[in-house]
Amino acid sequence: MKTTRVYLAILLAIMVVTPVVMAVAAQQQEEQVINKQVPGPEPPADRMLALYTRKLNLTPDQQAQMKPLLEERQQKLTALRNDSSVRGRQRLHQVKQIRDDEDKKINTILNDDQKKQYAQLEEQQIERMRQHRQGQRALDEVQ
């Protein structure tokens, strides 16, 4: 009986503390994003090049050709993210356009097997971006 009360007290404490901790963590994450301490959903070009080199077995020549394309994509996406005049669906459309344009250029560098692997990696990246947006929406709802 006494053990049951202790377990109930612990359970109640967890139920009370958990939402408070989650709210504080969400607030801290939002402040880091606002203060640019955490990058946006698009990884830096060098990190993406390292990933593609490893996953696609890029040759040094392919790496040299791909690096400026990834940097260009990163610059365009960063500029779009910082452009407060573009909102909602228009922003999503422009992101898709930038990614599609750069994907076409990147695909000219890759062989057929690499193209298939690249398409899979890009789908995974898109899914991570969707999850990031959903997380942002959840943060907005908390406020």
Both 46 and 104 in one domain: the answer is yes
Both 11 and 51 in one domain: the answer is no
Both 53 and 12 in one domain: the answer is no
Phi and psi for 35 in degrees, rounded to 5?
-85, 5
Both 60 and 88 in one domain: the answer is yes
For residue range 68-107, list pLDDT tens digits in order. 999 999 899 888 888 888 888 888 888 889 989 999 999 9
Both 21 and 46 in one domain: the answer is no
Distance CA 45, CA 31 (A): 24
Range of the domain at 5: 1-38
Both 136 and 71 in one domain: the answer is yes
Distance CA 43, CA 46 (A): 8
Q: Looking at residue 34, what is its pLDDT?
A: 40
Both 45 and 26 in one domain: the answer is no
Both 14 and 69 in one domain: the answer is no
Number of domains observed in the structure of the chain: 2
Both 74 and 115 in one domain: the answer is yes
Both 34 and 44 in one domain: the answer is no
Both 56 and 12 in one domain: the answer is no
State both tokens at 10: 């612990």
Taking a C-beta distance cutoff of 8 angstroms, is the pair 105, 69 a contact?
Answer: yes
- Is residue 143 predicted with pLDDT exceeding 70? no
For residue range 113-129, list pLDDT tens digits in order. 999 999 998 888 888 87
For residue range 22-73, list pLDDT tens digits in order. 666 666 655 554 444 444 555 688 888 998 999 999 999 999 999 999 999 9
Both 47 and 23 in one domain: the answer is no
